[in-house]
């Protein structure tokens, strides 16, 4: 047996459907497109979501409210998690990231007043809750705002 004698197995190569070649082609005079209508015409396309004139799904589903395009999402750090840092130190997003409190230094950080703080330090963040400010002031710590 030679390489030029090897053929494809039976059923491996299927003949393509050559449409528009007349009734002798086996695909009829309408070339597999049926009779009349937009489906028969050349260049016929439909927009995404078109359901043949039926009310589209996107228009059938009720809509509620609206979405804010430029909403900012803050990474949250609670007051009680600041106790792991040394007293008198200055902590910000870079230190929070090292400690595993936040995921990214690129996104803004907000400090919330959940828990208690026992050490005086300087805390740098983009936002502070009112309760966090009070707890930091009571512990002798300073809250410094970072600009975005």
Tell me the domain boundaries of the chain: 75-145
Instruction: List Cα–Cα distances, 13 to 7, 19, 60, 100, 125, in angstroms.
Output: 10, 18, 45, 58, 66
d(CA 19, CA 29): 9
Rounded average pLDDT over 53-81: 93
Task: Please determine, for residue 112, whether its predicted confidence score (pLDDT) is greater than 90.
Answer: yes
pLDDT of residue 25: 87
Chain segment 72-96, per-residue pLDDT in tens: 999 999 999 999 999 999 999 999 9
Q: Which CATH class is domain 75-145?
A: alpha beta
């Amino acid at each position: 047996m030679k390489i030029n004698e090897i053929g494809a197995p039976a059923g491996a190569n299927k003949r393509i459907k050559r449409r528009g070649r007349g009734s002798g082609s086996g695909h009829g005079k309408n070339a597999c497109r049926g009779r009349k209508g937009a489906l028969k015409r050349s260049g016929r396309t439909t927009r995404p979501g078109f359901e043949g004139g039926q009310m589209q799904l996107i228009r059938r589903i009720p809509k509620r409210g609206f979405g804010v395009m430029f909403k900012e999402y803050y990474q949250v750090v609670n007051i009680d998690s600041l106790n792991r840092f040394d007293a008198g130190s200055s902590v910000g997003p870079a230190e929070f990231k090292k400690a595993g409190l936040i995921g990214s230094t690129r996104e803004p950080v907000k400090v919330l007043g959940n828990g208690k703080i026992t050490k005086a330090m300087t805390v740098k963040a983009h936002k502070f809750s009112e309760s966090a400010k009070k707890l930091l002031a009571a512990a002798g710590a300073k809250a410094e705002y970072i600009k975005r």
